[in-house]
Amino acid sequence: MDNFSIEEKMKRAEAFRHLQPICVNLVKSPSIEGLESLKVILRDIDKGILKEIHEYILFPLRLIIKQKTNLNEKIITQVCQCTTTILSCTTITKWETFQDIFVTYTIMLSSPENPNNLSPIHEELKLAIVEVLNTLVKNTDYSLALNQLYTAKNIPILGHTVSLLLYLIQDEKLRNLRILAMDCLVALSLSENTSIQVKITSGSIFASFLPRISTVLCSVITGDSTQGHFVTKKAIETWQIFLFLIMDDKLLKKSQKAVVKLKADAGNGKLQDLIVTRDSEWIQNTSDKLGILVQQVGTIKQHSSWRVRLSLLDWAHNLLTNCSNSMSSSIPVLLEVLVILSCDTYSNISSKSKKALKQFQEQSEKQKSRPLMEILEENLLSMATTLPRQIRTSDDDQKLSLIKIISGYLKILGPNMNSLLYSYSHLKRFSLALIQTLEMDCSSVKIVEEQTQILGHGASAINSQGKVNVHQPRKTFRHFHNDSIYQELVSLLQLLGHYGDLNLLVDHFLGLFHETSLNRLQATLIINQIMLGTIQNYDELEQQTVNSCDRQQELQCIISSLIDEYLSPNNFNLITSHVAKETIPAEGQFSLVLYNRTQPTFYDYNANILQICLFLEGFAVFAKILQKDFNPFLITVLYPMLEKLGDCSAYLSNTAYLALNSISDSCGYKDIEDLIQQNIDYLINSITLRLRHLPQNPHAPIVLKVILQFGHQQLLPLIQDTITNILECLDDYQTIHVATFMQVLHELCCAVRQWFPSDKETVQENDPAMSCIDEEQNSEDTKWLVDFLVQYHKDKKTAAGEVDDDDDLSKNEGEMDWTPASPTENEMENIEDEEKTLPPNHVTIIVDVMSRVKHLLSSEDVHLKLIVLDTITAAVYSLQSHQDHLLPMVHQLWTPLSQRFSDTEIIVRIKAFQTLLNISVVCGSFIRKRTNQRSSKLSHNCGIGYSFTHAYKMQCTILDSLGNLCINLGIQGKEVDDIATACIPYLSAHGHPELKKAALKTFDSLIAIEPDAMWLKLSYIYSPNVYKLPAPIFQKVQFDSNNGKEYSNSIEILFKNPLLQSKTSQPNVN
């Protein structure tokens, strides 16, 4: 004490002055208040002073613990916390002190009845006790005190403590307690001690406890995820420490001396049986048993927590680095963990895994042990063999994990995989595994039935405006439905294409393609993805140079052969529906692939559709590989792809559209329109040649239809001769191909309307009824009313015998007005100029089309009649600016069109009325008289099931559009009255609600045309008002409203129309 300064002596005296009464009171009567006061003083006291007087303070606490039978658990918990605080600030140098505290607190964890089990105390006390033990071990000097714990005679004490800690790790629910127990276990292992001799001694002792430690920690690692990822992570790290301590290759070589010393200290008693001799036999047996546990731990390699995966990575890496000889049987599993983690989405994990694999490879080369590549190849073949079975029986997570492992092996092997592929048996086994895994599901009827119809039968997925969103058809597989599995398989195939021998792989899978029809879909898909892999870039791994001239020439040769194979008539011209099979003549070059059946089924048609889709995707892949070097191949592939783009199958048309978009981008074109425009000469020539042999090329008109969809007006002169050929073929083929020709002609009319829009067209085709009466119409209505009243006045005067000279003069003038005047010389010259003026090409083409299609309106095919009516509508709008050519054609069309109003098929009658409505928009009053002569008598049925009949739909369509038709035709006077008379029954309260609603809409239009006449007509049916005469000279008009009560609701609604309200605004109601 003489070495301390006066100030330090005063601090020590002050500390004793505060501590002495508290310690005395705690010995006499332990209490929570006294322990809380002690904690406050310990928190404030100088650490150096506390280190010197720690034995004095520990004495009352140790005494309290030994009297714990008389105390509650809260006081014991406080004592443990105070002990932890004291131990954390000092270093134990006396074995007696360490032994006393260690044994005392270990006994506190043990059950009094059964010392091998945990004491039934609450979790907070257990946590405090373990914290004392952990702090005690960490703050005890090894050379002065702790080394005596690691002797033969103290192995039972140490083993008992380890057993209790393992019980806490395994059975407790409190996470902090489990984690602290693992920390205490690690502290007992002395793994942080830098002395190799200390680690050897500790490893020799803990080798006796390894089975129990490994079993418990492995169960925690593979336990339920609800325990928390930090518990799992801590268990991996703890087990890793004990495996290094006991199974480290370098430490095992020096462990014999330590074992000999321990056995010498143990003597000949039972203690010698507790000591394990880590010889070669023990190492082999332990390695085999640990291999089972290592394999179980490897199953969490896709754990949801990246921290757990990172700990697993360190565990596998360190075991491969330090225990590769002693745990050689676990090397494949450890490599599997590193391989799958090398593909981890977390960049830190993937990069560390790749680095660990590289280090292990270098280590294997230095030690001249089994090469890494040989191990990887063996594992790869083993997993590829089990892949089909796993795909059929495992869940999605297991399937995905297995495929990721195979991908990881391929990525690590890199170009070295060719040594595996050059073996035919290995390649056969691997390829068949892929074929069986990628077996596609063709059982869905949706594939063959799903068709996109924009206008009429067989319209393609893209309309003339090209505004339809197209989605890639989804591939379905028999053995999995998770898109992640498919994407991982795609990555695997692309790795094969990137690193493997391309010629070998393509030839081999083409052989499987021809081997049996069951392999065709899978082989095509695999070839496409293998080819796509040639342009993939995989960083940090050795790769071949794709852009070299030799490589490019090799790719061009392979792609050329694949295009020829894909476009082979037996492969590409497949029948995709029973309709196509019936309509295509026997001499046509079309084939039907049957899958082990004698009669075609939906499965066969579905498979054919998917097969062609894969071919189309392959063309897009080839263009993506060659970029602009693919342009020479466009002559071969563009026409067949356009043919499939116009197909009625949604799968084919959508796939072709997406493939053409991809080809346009790859070859430097702006879009599909630019692609077609730049190659139009070749396409037109191909269409013309094929039209000469139409039975063998029935889809040639479809290609022209697609060209029209994506073309522009500069295209018209180029295709004019082809259109003429189509019209000639239409005359020659009136049965089989007429529907195809009509699709082309309909698209032509739509394209002409789009390319040459009319200035007069103010109403869109899809909503032609949205028009109103303009000012000129209103003026004509007013003039008609004035003329009517003047003529009425003249007739009354004539009947009374009052005839004036002015009337005769007016009459003569009126007669002169109806006499056609002789044309002047200038007018004759204008007429001659008009006769000499030739119409534009598009007008001539549309007139030719209309003159041909009018004869098809009498066809028995319903679908054909519908598309003919659609074509007429589009043609009429196309000629809107050329009335001189339009009106004669409408005159010729009228007779066959009017017959469709009485067609046996109601759907045709509806379409015919819609066509009439469109013609009325363009032609106006030209067809007014004809239309009045074709007024139809409609049924007033309103039964329960009537709403679901075609007749109801026809009535609803006509009533809904009849008013707009009247406005378009300029119908007036008696014609309006006749239409109103026909529509009045639909205003009945007993009628169908929807028909009544449509009839009200028609009356609104009629009121806009003739408000006075409609007011008078409706008032005669029902009028609740009695009107006062404005003057006595007028005769009283009495409306009979008793018979019109069933129409009262509808007529009251109509009277709310502003045009009728002005006439009923001042009635006197009695």
Q: Please spell the DSSP secondary structure of 1021-1062, one letter per residue.
A: H-----PPPSSTTSPP-----GGGGGGHHHHHHHHTSHHHHT
Looking at domain 711-759+839-934, does it have CATH number 1.25.10.10? yes
Q: How far is Cα 660 from Cα 706, in angstroms, rounded to an integer?
A: 12
Q: How far is Cα 295 from Cα 1017, in angstroms, rounded to an integer?
A: 94
CB atoms under 10 Å from CB of 742, counted, come to 29
Phi-psi domain of 601 (left: phi exceeds 0; alpha: psi -120 through 50; beta: other): beta
Contact 149, 158 (CB under 8 A): yes
Report the alpha-carbon angle 587-593-599, nearest 5.
90
- pLDDT of 930 over the 70 cut: no
Of residues 477, 481, 461, 479, the one with CA closest to residue 469: 461
pLDDT bin (cut points 50, 70, 90) of residue 75 is confident
CB atoms under 10 Å from CB of 811, counted, come to 12
Q: Residue 1014: what residue type?
A: M
b/e for 854-879, b at 16 or more Cβ within 10 A?
bebbebeeeebbbbbbbbbbbbbbbb
Q: Residue 763: what residue type?
A: V
DSSP secondary structure code for residue 120 in this structure: -
Note the Cα 218 to chain centre separation in Å. Answer: 38
Q: How far is Cα 533 from Cα 527, in angstroms, rounded to an integer?
A: 10
- pLDDT of 762 over the 60 cut: no
Three-state SS string over 43-106 comes to HHCCHHHHHHCHHHHHHHHHHHHHCHHHCCHHHHHHHHHHHHHHHHCCCECCHHHHHHHHHHHH
Delimit the domains of the chain by residue range. Answer: 1-85, 371-448+481-541, 545-698, 711-759+839-934, 943-1070
Contact 478, 392 (CB under 8 A): no
Q: Residue 23: what residue type?
A: C
CB atoms under 10 Å from CB of 429, counted, come to 13
In the prediction, which pLDDT does 163 show? 92
For 648, phi then psi, to 5°, come to -75, -15
Q: What is the pLDDT of residues 806-857, one digit of tens each?
A: 444 344 333 333 333 344 455 445 544 544 467 888 888 888 888 888 888 8
Q: What is the pLDDT of residues 584-642, one digit of tens each?
A: 444 344 565 555 555 778 888 889 999 999 999 999 999 999 999 999 999 999 999 99
Contact 74, 65 (CB under 8 A): no
In the prediction, which pLDDT does 656 show? 92
Q: Residue 981: what residue type?
A: T
Tokens 């007669």: give the residue.
815
pTM of the model: 0.73
For the chain, give percent helix, strand, coil, nearest 5: 75, 0, 25
pLDDT bin (cut points 50, 70, 90) of residue 317 is very high
Half-sphere exposure of 463 toward its Cβ, with a 13 Å CA cutoff? 11
Tokens 């009533």: give the residue.
959
Locate 615 and state its tokens. 């071919």
Of residues 901, 904, 880, 900, the one with CA closest to residue 890: 880
Mean of per-residue pLDDT scores for the chain: 79
Q: What is the pLDDT of residues 259-294, one digit of tens each?
A: 777 766 666 667 777 788 888 889 899 999 999 999
Q: What is the pLDDT of residues 945-981, one digit of tens each?
A: 566 677 777 778 878 777 777 888 777 778 778 888 8
Q: How far is Cα 80 from Cα 77, in angstroms, rounded to an integer?
A: 5
For 270, phi then psi, to 5°, come to -70, -25
